[in-house]
Amino acid sequence: MSTTPTWGRPRARGATGLIALVAALAGGLLLLAAPGASATTTSTFCVPQADVSACVSGTVGNRTDPIEGADVTLLDENEAEVDTVTTGADGKFSFQVDKAGTYYVSVDPDSLPDDQEIIPPADKFQGPDGSLIVTVTLGQTTVPALEVRSVDYKAGGAGLGTQLIQSVVQGLRLGLLLALASIGLSLIYGTTGLSNFAHAEQVTLGGMLGYAFCNVLGLNLWLGVVIVTLICAATGYAQDRILWQPLRRRGLGLTQLMIVTIGLSMAAQYTFQFFVGADTQKVVVESFSSFTVGPVTLTWMSLIAMGISLVVIGLVGYVLLFTRVGQATRAVSDNPALAAASGIDVDRIIRGVWTAAAGLAGLGGILYALVVSNGIRWDTGMQILLLLFAAVTLGGLGTAFGAFIGAIIIGLVVELAGPLGAPGDLKYAVALIILILLLLVRPQGLLGRASRVG
């Protein structure tokens, strides 16, 4: 085995029960597939003993996106192989040694997914064949940093300009996927005034169902995408029918309804965790390779996902602008009471918005699992929730087109923050800082109206 790594590579109970039922279906399918998921030998947990042994333990990838099946090798100071282990579903590896000193850690690049590579901190990758140098002390655990990134991000030693061009393309990809969910979130706010904190869980549900149908059941990818979108849309319809419409008719205030969405979000998250666990479930499509155009490298799946997002967002825009349903939706968003007096069935329009919003979020979830994180976790929705709210607020609360523009800006800021010096997940904080600065200048957002503020 080669040790040379390639671096750079209502009732509230009713709605909650409905989401739990759908999550149970996906979780059950995932659990059915779990026993035969891997036949490789994974590392065991190591506990250091004072003056006796030490441990070299860590994770290939990170907590939110661990890499399963990576072959990790430990070499001693004489460059002799101590041991090789294969990471499990949690991406963890662990070695036990009985001597202090210098060791070298390397990852077999052939064992990584085709679209992943190790991020090299240049000052530490100076061992044989570019391996990572670690200093081991008896009685302690040393944790090497072996984070991964998408091959799409690879700059390969290129200059800042090349990295920025690559990041712009990736930012557009992320922005389009965020737009699928944020447009629905904005429409819900526009027609009901409700900030739905449970909306991002539809993204998680879409990714989990995508894994269940495409990887566990072996359905064709595009058939799976359609089925997932329809199922998620159905959960949106059921949520409004069972939960939100009765609560609206009982006259609950927006603050009370928002608290319900927070509770619904937490219930959905822990339902996902109960059935699926903490592992990342990957939606793997092996037939899509990568391609390079000038300084830009992308996978074909990324390009297709961007195309699907553009087409769907274009259809939503067409419906809102040129159909009677779209005109009625905009009328309800502007003034529900006047719309009802004009003969528009407000409840029907709101239910259609909930249905479409959940379907768009589910579609965004399966595409996100395919091209961005290469997997889905029980808390994926929670991780992107602030980005969705940032996109909606930046574009203007209640405006679908504003949410689209806001999502593109947030996607670009997140991806450009890395080459410009923001380490790790700090790039997400940079996006929120940009949001705050813009709201200080224009509180209503880019396309919002001042009358919506306050």
Q: How is residue 229 written in tokens? A: 């979108």
Please state the φ and ψ torsions of residue 385, each to the nearest 5 degrees.
-60, -45
Segment 251-281, tens digit of pLDDT = 889 999 999 999 999 999 999 988 887 767 7
**pLDDT, position 148:** 65
Q: According to the per-residue pLDDT averaged within each range, which of 74-88, 272-286, 307-321, 383-397 is highest?
A: 307-321
| Average pLDDT over every residue of 44-53 | 80
**pLDDT, position 404:** 95
Segment 226-254, tens digit of pLDDT = 999 999 999 999 999 999 999 999 988 99
**pLDDT, position 195:** 92
pLDDT band at 371 (very low <50, low <70, confident <90, very high): confident
- In the chain, the domains with their CATH numbers are 54-149 (2.60.40.10), 160-452 (1.10.3470)
Amino acid in the structure at residue 10: P
The CA-atom distances, in angstroms, between 314 and each of 221, 319, 357 are 22, 9, 15
Which of residues 382 and 355 earns the better pLDDT score? 355
% pLDDT > 70, the chain: 77
3-state secondary structure at position 185: helix
**CB distance 303 to 170 below 8 Å:** no
| Average pLDDT over every residue of 140-145 | 76
% pLDDT > 90, the chain: 36
What's the rounded Cα separation, in Å, for the pair 48 and 415?
39
**pLDDT, position 197:** 95
| Average pLDDT over every residue of 115-143 | 70
**pLDDT, position 323:** 95
Asked which of 127-136, 159-168, 187-196, 331-340 is least confident by mean pLDDT, the reply is 127-136
Amino acid in the structure at residue 273: Q
pLDDT band at 435 (very low <50, low <70, confident <90, very high): confident
pLDDT band at 201 (very low <50, low <70, confident <90, very high): very high
Which of residues 166 and 160 earns the better pLDDT score? 166
Share of the chain residues as helix, strand and coil, in percent rounded to the nearest 5: 55, 15, 30
Q: Which helix (H) or strand (E) holds 104?
A: strand 101-107
What's the rounded Cα separation, in Å, for the pair 318 and 105?
54
Which of residues 331 and 372 earns the better pLDDT score? 331
**CB distance 396 to 444 below 8 Å:** yes
What's the rounded Cα separation, in Å, for the pair 124 and 145?
9
Which of residues 37 and 138 earns the better pLDDT score? 138
Which of residues 221 and 142 earns the better pLDDT score? 221
Classify 262 in phi/psi space as left (phi over 0), alpha (psi -120 to 50) or beta. Answer: alpha
Angle at 242 between CA 240 and CA 246, to 5 degrees: 80
3-state secondary structure at position 84: strand
| Average pLDDT over every residue of 404-425 | 82
The CA-atom distances, in angstroms, between 236 and each of 15, 231, 291, 385 are 9, 9, 37, 17
| Average pLDDT over every residue of 143-152 | 63
pLDDT band at 151 (very low <50, low <70, confident <90, very high): low
**CB distance 216 to 33 below 8 Å:** yes
Q: How is residue 357 written in tokens? A: 């919003």
Which of residues 139 and 116 earns the better pLDDT score? 139
Amino acid in the structure at residue 23: A
Segment 207-225, tens digit of pLDDT = 999 988 988 888 999 999 9
**CB distance 91 to 69 below 8 Å:** no
Across the chain, what does the average pLDDT equal? 80
What's the rounded Cα separation, in Å, for the pair 9 and 120?
9
